[in-house]
Amino acid sequence: MSLSPHHDGSALYVPEQEPALGQTVPVFVRVPDGTDVRQVHVRTTADGEPRFVEATVDRRDGHDVWWRADVEVRNPVSNYRFMLTGTTGYRWLNAAGQVDHDVPDHGDFKLVSHAPPPAWARDAVIYQIFPDRFARSAAAADRTPPDWAIPCDWDTPVIGYGPQTPRQFYGGDLDGITERLDHLDRLGVNTVYLTPVFPARSNHRYDAAGFDTVDPLLGGEAALVRLADAVRARGWRLLGDITSNHTGDAHEWFTRALADGDAPERELYYFDPATGYESWNGVRSLPKLNWGSAELRRRFATDPDSPLRRWLRPPYGLDGWRVDVANMTGRRGADAYTHEVARLLREVVVQTRPDGLLLAEHGHDHTGDLDRDGWHGTMNYVGFTDPVWSWLRREGPAHRPAGAPGPAGSAGGRGPGPGACRGRAVSRCRTSSGRRAGCGGGTPVPCSPPWTASGR
């Protein structure tokens, strides 16, 4: 039995899970018997002005009293919180808990009227696959490792940190995944998420050398078609991974821009005399894209054959994208295009595939980016993955936030860089409605060897 008043965004407390702008919807708060609550109001900030609606007792259920108030969805994102009045005064109940003093609105509950994520995502169980490390098909033995690679046997230990981390090459491929879908079926998976499959100069492939082909080391486009067909035959979904913040330095856009200061590709990146060019966290192999460029928006998104569109169409038919480093996309100094870009990418995805999903990577507080008409949701590291890791490791050292300094001499003390390992654990995804959907509850358990993320 709850010992304090409670409200959350689930259907039990907000029955209308997809409210429309202008609609009036009921919200409920559950108050245990014996709690010092004599009166309940809901405070909203419609059009930026605080307003109060008195709640009434809707029902009694065992040891709880359920209070109800009707709230107008006045704005695309409508904030609300509860004012609980008792014999000793009042206190607020918002998404952060109860407080006895006024607090900023950013902690309020929210009713979001933007179009919701596709319905299938609500119950999706997503299994993330790092193709190089999951499984090899027989064809993998005939492929020559690239010049950047350190060829590894399947049982070679993974190097978790250091300059060799992104160069270890195990030779997993897409047909290897297709051959082992029964393994995922036994785990209860219904959605497969692939980390990047484009040609690159690393095992993680977040340094794309192009967006127009599938890496031949993974079996090429034909292998992706075979995997997509096999996934669809099971009634599952298939998600891709694309980098909107940067390309690799071997990408044809960048090589042209670097070779010719007058090339049209020059405006796709950030060049300046002092640093040469901007890159992701100073990693020179990952030059940063400039979303102030209309040409970039055309090439990446709006063009009829843009990479964002083409892989969503047959014969590949990806069901959506996970967007790498979405939190930094469009942000650089005074440039602040993130919300424009998120809205644009969502429009293009939904135009191309009405049931397409667009998930953003965001490693910390994503609230400022999510409750809009852009990203459908985010990989919820801070809201799910990190707390679960901390709980699982409660007998050992606490899990440290991404990028946080660690004890001197520890691997955890390394910040992001060429050899830093960035976790790719599957996390539950937070949807733009403020609800926690079941899209991403899978566990990355590969066949062999132990799954690991690779450094950038």
Provide the total of helices (H) and of strands (E) in the chain, helices listed first: 10, 22
Q: How far is CA 113 from CA 18, 72, 82, 167, 198, in A?
A: 7, 11, 20, 45, 36
Residue listed under structure tokens 């066949």:
447
How many whole angstroms separate alpha carbon 11 and alpha carbon 265?
49
Does 273 sit behind a cis peptide bond, omega within 30 degrees of 0 on the bond before it? no
Which pair of tokens denotes residue 439?
């899209």
| Cα torsion angle, 350, 355, 361, 364, sign | positive
Asked about 361 being catalytic, the answer comes back as yes
Burial of 314 (0-12, 13-18, 19+ CB in 10 A): exposed
Residue of 72, 132, 324, 386 marked catalytic: 324
Residue of 361, 369, 371, 386 marked catalytic: 361
CB 29 within 8 A of CB 40: yes
Residues 6+ apart with CB under 8 A from 21: 73, 75, 76, 113
Q: How far is CA 273 from CA 71, 260, 277, 288, in A?
A: 55, 15, 8, 16
Catalytic amino acids?
A: 324, 361
